[in-house]
Chains A and B, each alone.
Chain A
Amino acid sequence: MDEMDEIVQEFLVESAENLDQLDRDLLALENDPGSREILSSAFRTIHTIKGTSGFLAFERLEKVTHTGESLLSRLRDGRQTMTTPIADALLLMVDTVRALLTSIEETGAEGEVPIEPVMDQIRGLMVDATSPAPAAAAEPTPEPTPESVPAPVAEPVAEAAPEPTPTPAAAKAAVRPKAEPKPHAVPVRTKRPRKSTAAAPAAEAGPAPVEAPLVAPVAVAAPAVETPAAPSVAAAAPVTDPSLGQKRTAAESSLRVDVDVLDTLMRLAGELVLTRNQLMRGVIELADPALSRTAQRLNVITTDLQESIMKTRMQPIDHLWSKLPRVVRDLGSQCGRQVRLTMTGQDTEIDRALLETIKDPLTHLVRNAIDHGIEAPEVRRAAGKPAEGTLNLRAYHNSGQVVIEVADDGAGIEIDKLTAKAVERGLRSSAEVAGMSEADVLQLVFAPGFSTAKEVTKVSGRGVGMDVVKTNIEAIGGTIELDSTPGKGTVCRLRVPLTLAIVPALTIECGDDRYAVPQVSLLELVALDEARATSAIEQVAGAPVYRLRGSLLPLIDLAEVLGIRSAADSAHRGNQVIAVLQAGARRFGLLVDRVVNTEEIVVKALSPRLKTIGVYSGATILGDGKVALILDVQNLARRALRADASDRLDEAFAATSAHVDSTAERLLIAGVGAGRRVAIPMSMVTRLEMIAVGRIESVGTREVVQYRGQIIPLMRLARYLGTYADEERPELPVAVYSRAGHSVAIVMDEIIDIVEQHEPIRSDINDHGFVGSVVVKDQIVGLLDVESTILAADPDFFTAHAAAVAEVGVESFEYDPPGSADQPAGDPYSADGRLLPAGAR
């Protein structure tokens, strides 16, 4: 009995695949009703299922498939043409067969799945077809046995009988101009190729079934198998085989493996990776060359093994997409749209688990595109577009991610409509909306409770939609973008990681614990040393921010979020690092104590009770065997940036930073001896450094210093301004000004402060070396004319650089004359403090 179960099991799996193929074939037939190739494939598929169900004594299944087969055989033999009702009926049959198979899988029996309606429908279509046929055809057609149809139930085995019948009919059918369908036929594609020989192969095969019914399918299929490019494997290999004890030929190169086995393998590979990491540490300490070599090999093998196992989990995205033609067809007819579905990149591979996760979001996007995107045929025609809309799916790999695009050539998203809706729904005020950029407006689509469908249809428009899609995609570390041109169409772009099982991550330390941050959300790192940590972190009404290249980055103190210590304590923690993270459209800085390293981590599921905390997405085991929590960047952002307001908050920040940039200039207040102070625009300063006096050397009369592999001239401000330094210090603070690879170090006596200057520059004093003066904390400070100061140190600086720039064509540092600082040159610190180049993306 076990053996029997196995056969049933195999039948179920195979049939499921076959039915998918049948679905595709039927849809393809609608577009190309005459294709013999597809017809044969469809026929074979259904015949195989019928044959096996007969063998396994699934009577109802056999009846249904038999009816379907009869209709298909008529189509194949050209006695009838594919029409929409026929396609509907056949698809319904496929669904019924699926229902039966499900029932068999669940209960072991066919159950109560109703089969009569679909059988009646199919028979009706066949009966209709036969009566008008003689009338339509000019010649009397001796069509002798199509009526075998109502009777088939009785003798399933002999059922191959319809096969031979075409023999006489085939010749006639070929002569007949068109097999006209029934009178009430809906728009029929009458493009019926007159292939006089078309029926011949079937005719040849005709005699065979009579003597050996079960083997018959093979014989019938054979002539066709030679031609089609890639007939479904299973279709060509009837399941009668097990009984005959034969090997399945086409299956030799592939193997069905239980997913659990793969998951176990994957887990073991993950553990192997961890063990290897631990071993490698130990080996490095031992410094034994022979052992190191062995460990190195183990290292390579482990990596290869891990990759190979990862591959077994990868599946082409086609597994998901192959279901979509049916969805598109059904939706199209429900919504009254004509849609052509095109796909590129079906073989793009993605982790099986992820495939499962993106299934619903993707289906939703496709629904959306048909329901909201593509217009009704009349509307399209009126707009000068073809009545048939195009839905294009595209998938490709891009920098460690899979990009999936759903593009339609529909109406696009009208910004005005969208904003009106947002206001109506109370998501945004009209004032807010007025100031939003187009890209921001498009983001509104993802707001919870948003739906632009004019009315709620069966398909979409219930307001649960894009926000859920977005949440789901973000939950797996993906992103979603929307691009829309009114009148031209909409493109929705999903970016999802290739796999979730092993991810590159940054390990950071906060308090006494280490945490992992997925590299995919990491943009860059900014190191803050103890001295700067306090001054560089500023407050906007109590909310900490950091100036990152001129714009304010909201900061989240990890220690504070996790309740390890308060922000006040953190302020005195000394060195800190800002990890600049991207969560959806938001950017924020995560303040941590230390960056440990980057490594590939194996993601382990977290107990649900800990997952609900909402800050951790999982856990991992680090190289030293300790468990580390993986931070959930999306949720962290949501939690700390206040869910609903966060988008607006971002805008507010953008506005604030714009405000700061346009009117305020940061000034470096430097002492130049004898109590005198000068102000230097920070936009002119590339970097602040301390230079040991001992490093200063002389070239001719000039003082120079070696700095980052360059020899740069030194300019002592005090001397230039005619004052004397208060005392000789062992280290001199310098402001380095660089342009096009050339630098000048401006030596100050001391750095007093960095201030923000909102007041306009008063330029009534025009002393040597100054462009004006400013009031800083009630004190008048001269604003240094950096340009002329530099010229004093290096008269050729600007001309030389103009030439250098022209030659190289690259300018590393924008020269901004003070006063016209509409584009601030950026924070000097971040350029230096950045540890990593912009993140994985």
Chain B
Amino acid sequence: MSKQYATFWLADALYGIEVERVREVLRQQDITHVPLAPTTVAGLINLRGQVVTTIDLRERLDLRHDDGDEQPMLVVVLVAGESIALLVDRIGGVVDVDDEQFEPPPDTLIGPARDLVRGAYKLEGQLLLGLDVDIAVAA
């Protein structure tokens, strides 16, 4: 069975979210910091009059924030009726994938990514990591 994934880059890896979960993609906005919130919460943004929580995916995946020249982008997804924005490095495109291309994560994958990454789609010359949105925003 073939599926469509909206893809984005995070620290040189290509991740994907089912395209029907994605509502829109935005350039980074003014983010209001929320003190005392978990570090994975980057803050709040104003999405056309709606207050939307933003999740820092790098933080969530335990990736370092080192390449400061990236212009972070926001992927707005719908989770349990609530809009949530994900902070990512760069937007990819929409990719068609087949179930045959899928493989579950290797046993060597440990850390927070283990829960977040459902598995990898073997694209040509690149692996597309399928992100479990529900778990990604759950923290």
Give chain A's interface residues, CB within 8 Å of chain B.
267, 270-271, 274-275, 511-513, 562-564, 604-607, 609-610, 613, 615-616, 619-621, 625-629
| Cβ-defined contact, A270 with B51, below 8 A | no
Q: A29: shortest Cβ distance to chain B, in Å?
A: 47
| Cβ-defined contact, A562 with B36, below 8 A | yes
Contact of A609 among B30, B33, B41, B49 (CB under 8 A): B41
| Cβ-defined contact, A625 with B30, below 8 A | yes
| Cβ-defined contact, A627 with B37, below 8 A | no
| Cβ-defined contact, A563 with B53, below 8 A | no
Is the C-beta of B35 less than 8 angstroms from some C-beta in chain A?
yes
Q: A802: shortest Cβ distance to chain B, in Å?
A: 56
Report which residue of A275, A564, A605, A621 has the largest number of chain B beta carbons within 10 angstroms of its beta carbon: A621
Please indicate the chain A residues that have their CB under 8 angstroms from the CB of B36 in the complex: 562-563, 613, 615
Please indicate the chain B residues that have their CB under 8 angstroms from the CB of A271 in the complex: 48-49
Q: Which 8 A-B pairs have the closest CB atoms?
A: A562-B35, A271-B49, A627-B32, A627-B44, A604-B51, A607-B53, A619-B51, A613-B36
Give complex CA distance A620, B51 in Å: 7
Q: B78: shortest Cβ distance to chain A, in Å?
A: 13
Give complex CA distance A606, B34 in Å: 11
A-B contacts, 24 listed (Cβ < 8 Å):
A270-B49, A271-B48, A275-B49, A511-B35, A513-B32, A513-B35, A604-B50, A605-B51, A607-B53, A609-B38, A609-B53, A610-B37, A613-B34, A615-B35, A616-B34, A619-B32, A619-B51, A621-B51, A625-B30, A626-B32, A627-B30, A627-B32, A627-B45, A627-B46
Please indicate the chain A residues that have their CB under 8 angstroms from the CB of B99 in the complex: none
Q: Determine the main DSSP class of A at the interface with B.
A: mixed
If A619-B44, A627-B44, A627-B46 touch, whether A564 touches B35 (CB-CB below 8 Å) is yes
Q: Given contact pairs A267-B49, A563-B36, A621-B49, enumerate 4 new A-B contacts (beta carbons under 8 Å).
A: A275-B49, A511-B35, A609-B37, A609-B38
Give complex CA distance A500, B10 in Å: 41
| Cβ-defined contact, A274 with B49, below 8 A | yes
Please indicate the chain B residues that have their CB under 8 angstroms from the CB of A562 in the complex: 35-36
Give chain B's interface residues, CB within 8 Å of chain A.
30, 32-38, 41, 43-46, 48-51, 53, 82, 84
Give complex CA distance A512, B46 in Å: 17
Please indicate the chain B residues that have their CB under 8 angstroms from the CB of A513 in the complex: 32-33, 35
Report which residue of A562, A564, A629 has the largest number of chain B beta carbons within 10 angstroms of its beta carbon: A629
Give complex CA distance A613, B49 in Å: 23
Question: Of all chain A residues, which has the CB nearest B38?
Answer: A609
Q: B34: shortest Cβ distance to chain A, in Å?
A: 6
Please indicate the chain A residues that have their CB under 8 angstroms from the CB of B50 in the complex: 604
Please indicate the chain A residues that have their CB under 8 angstroms from the CB of B44 in the complex: 610, 619, 627, 629
Please indicate the chain B residues that have their CB under 8 angstroms from the CB of A615 in the complex: 35-36
| Cβ-defined contact, A610 with B34, below 8 A | yes
Please indicate the chain A residues that have their CB under 8 angstroms from the CB of B46 in the complex: 621, 625-627
Q: B138: shortest Cβ distance to chain A, in Å?
A: 9
| Cβ-defined contact, B41 with A629, below 8 A | no
Give complex CA distance A620, B44 in Å: 10
Give complex CA distance A626, B51 in Å: 10
Please indicate the chain B residues that have their CB under 8 angstroms from the CB of A628 in the complex: 32
Give complex CA distance A604, B44 in Å: 12
| Cβ-defined contact, A627 with B51, below 8 A | yes
| Cβ-defined contact, A629 with B34, below 8 A | yes
Give complex CA distance A267, B45 in Å: 17
Please indicate the chain A residues that have their CB under 8 angstroms from the CB of B53 in the complex: 607, 609-610
Report which residue of A270, A274, A513, A619 has the largest number of chain B beta carbons within 10 angstroms of its beta carbon: A619
Question: Of all chain A residues, which has the CB nearest B49?
Answer: A271
Please indicate the chain B residues that have their CB under 8 angstroms from the CB of A563 in the complex: 35-36
Give complex CA distance A606, B50 in Å: 10
Question: Of all chain A residues, which has the CB nearest B36?
Answer: A613
Report which residue of B33, B35, B48, B84 has the largest number of chain A beta carbons within 10 angstroms of its beta carbon: B35
Q: A137: shortest Cβ distance to chain B, in Å?
A: 67
Please indicate the chain B residues that have their CB under 8 angstroms from the CB of A629 in the complex: 32, 34, 44
Report which residue of A563, A620, A626 has the largest number of chain B beta carbons within 10 angstroms of its beta carbon: A626
| Cβ-defined contact, B30 with A626, below 8 A | yes
Please indicate the chain B residues that have their CB under 8 angstroms from the CB of A604 in the complex: 50-51
Q: A603: shortest Cβ distance to chain B, in Å?
A: 10
Please indicate the chain A residues that have their CB under 8 angstroms from the CB of B34 in the complex: 610, 613, 616, 629
Please indicate the chain A residues that have their CB under 8 angstroms from the CB of B45 in the complex: 627
Q: B28: shortest Cβ distance to chain A, in Å?
A: 14
Contact of B37 among A564, A613, A620 (CB under 8 A): A613
Give complex CA distance A351, B4 in Å: 45
Q: B58: shortest Cβ distance to chain A, in Å?
A: 18
Please indicate the chain A residues that have their CB under 8 angstroms from the CB of B48 in the complex: 271
Give complex CA distance A621, B33 in Å: 14
Q: B84: shortest Cβ distance to chain A, in Å?
A: 8
Q: B47: shortest Cβ distance to chain A, in Å?
A: 10
Q: A633: shortest Cβ distance to chain B, in Å?
A: 16
Question: Of all chain B residues, which has the CB nearest A604?
Answer: B51
Give complex CA distance A621, B47 in Å: 10
Give complex CA distance A564, B43 in Å: 14
Please indicate the chain B residues that have their CB under 8 angstroms from the CB of A512 in the complex: 33
Contact of A606 among B33, B38, B43, B51 (CB under 8 A): B51
Please indicate the chain B residues that have their CB under 8 angstroms from the CB of A610 in the complex: 34, 37, 41, 44, 53
Give complex CA distance A203, B26 in Å: 75
Q: B48: shortest Cβ distance to chain A, in Å?
A: 8
Question: Of all chain B residues, which has the CB nearest A613?
Answer: B36
Report which residue of B50, B51, B82, B84 has the largest number of chain A beta carbons within 10 angstroms of its beta carbon: B51
Give complex CA distance A274, B50 in Å: 11
Please indicate the chain A residues that have their CB under 8 angstroms from the CB of B49 in the complex: 267, 270-271, 274-275, 621
Please indicate the chain B residues that have their CB under 8 angstroms from the CB of A609 in the complex: 37-38, 41, 53
Report which residue of B32, B33, B38, B41 has the largest number of chain A beta carbons within 10 angstroms of its beta carbon: B32
Give complex CA distance A48, B71 in Å: 68
Give complex CA distance A626, B32 in Å: 7
Please indicate the chain B residues that have their CB under 8 angstroms from the CB of A613 in the complex: 34, 36-37
Give complex CA distance A267, B34 in Å: 23
Please indicate the chain A residues that have their CB under 8 angstroms from the CB of B51 in the complex: 604-606, 619-621, 627
| Cβ-defined contact, B82 with A607, below 8 A | yes
Q: A162: shortest Cβ distance to chain B, in Å?
A: 53
Give complex CA distance A609, B46 in Å: 18
Give complex CA distance A710, B59 in Å: 62
Please indicate the chain B residues that have their CB under 8 angstroms from the CB of A620 in the complex: 51
Q: A618: shortest Cβ distance to chain B, in Å?
A: 8
